[in-house]
Structure 1
Amino acid sequence: MRPTPDDPQAWNAYLAEGNRTQARKRVSADALIRDRSGRVLLVNPTYKPGWDLPGGMAEANEPPDEALSRELKEELDLDITLRALLVVDWVPPHGPWDDQLAFIFDAGTLDDDRAAHLRPHDDELSEAAFVTPARARELLGDRTRTRLDAALQAAQSQRPLYLHDGRPVL
């Protein structure tokens, strides 16, 4: 017989067992940041090949928006108010990785002075650059490229998109 909330100790033990056995998701949170001319901010990580959107992985029990704010502060010394959720992409298992939820948030437009002086602030990034969306598509890997396209579309339509491995489903 399953315990009930009437027995708080047994109930919490029952819930803890369920929590222990249920799947956990990896979560990433990236930002769409633009300059006044509409160029997109990309970063060049030192720990993997290729360019990426600014952001990173959430820590255990960290909300995606807070993970993004933390990563932007650590890596680029940016304190930005996030404006909107643009994309949620469910990424299926691939290589050694389990599935993942990838979020992209609209982090607005940097003024000319902030954009011109933006530099990496830790050793996880070698470069940060504003590039045209067309150039970003050339520099990004397939998954991030499709997410960027969806983020740009969502920012334009002011409607978030839900994707499965880069393909809209809703």
Structure 2
Amino acid sequence: MKPSPEDPDAWNAYLAEGNATQPRKRVAADVLLRDAADRVLLVNPAYKPGWDLPGGMAEANEPPEETVVRELSEELGLAVTVRGLLVVDWVAPHGPWDDQIAFVFDGVTLGVPGELRPHDEELSEAAYVTLDKARELLGQRMRVRLAAAVRALDEGRPVYLHDGTPVW
């Protein structure tokens, strides 16, 4: 027999059982940061080939916008303010990975610090580069997200991607 909300302990146990059987999504959150020369910040992860927008994977129960703030503080020692959402990309299962929701947020324009360098072993380097150079350095999936983020800035509204393909 299904418990009712009138018995809060039984009801919460019932809901927790349902929650435990629901699928979990991996969540990635990146940020588009530009300097005064309108270059974008890219990072070169030490654990995989190619460059990325700065950010990373959300921890359990962490909001995506807090993920980018935490990741940039940990990895680059940068304090970032998130200004809004630019891109949501649902990524289909691939290889050994389940599906994922990837966010790209707009961050404040930062001046170029005296020396931009990684603060932990996850990154080998970080640099502000032109959009053209970013398109050269980024892999296909991240290149599409960057293009969508730039489009979102131009149009003044977020872009939704379905495995890298614009839906609207």
Identify the TM-score tier after normalising by the shorter chain. Answer: over 0.9
Instruction: Tell me the residue number matched to 1:10.
Output: 10
RMSD in angstroms over aligned alpha carbons? 1.0
Q: What CA distance in whole angstroms lies between the structure 2 residues aligned with 1:156 and 1:45?
A: 28
2:91 match: 91
Secondary structure in structure 2 of the residue aligned to 1:30: strand
Secondary structure of the residue that 1:13 maps to in structure 2? helix
CA offset digits 1:7-26 (Å, max 9, x no partner): 11111111001100001100
Q: Does 1:124 align with 2:122?
A: yes
Which amino acid in structure 2 is aligned with residue 154 of structure 1? A
With normalisation by structure 1, the TM-score equals: 0.95
Distance (Å, rounded) in 2 between the aligned partners of 1:80 and 1:120: 15
Residue by residue over 1:65-119, the C-alpha shift from the partner in whole angstroms, topping out at 9 and shown as x without a partner, is 111100000001011111111001000000000000000001121124x2x4221
Residue identity opposite 1:129 in structure 2: A
Give the total of aligned pairs.
168
Q: Percent identity of the aligned residues?
A: 70
Q: Which runs of 4+ in 1 moved over 4 A?
A: none
What stretches of structure 1 of length at least 5 have no aligned partner?
Answer: none
TM-score by length of 2: 0.96
Query: What secondary structure, in the 3-state scheme, does the structure 2 residue paired with 1:95 have?
Result: coil
1:107 aligns with 2:131: no
List gaps (5 residues or longer) in structure 2.
none
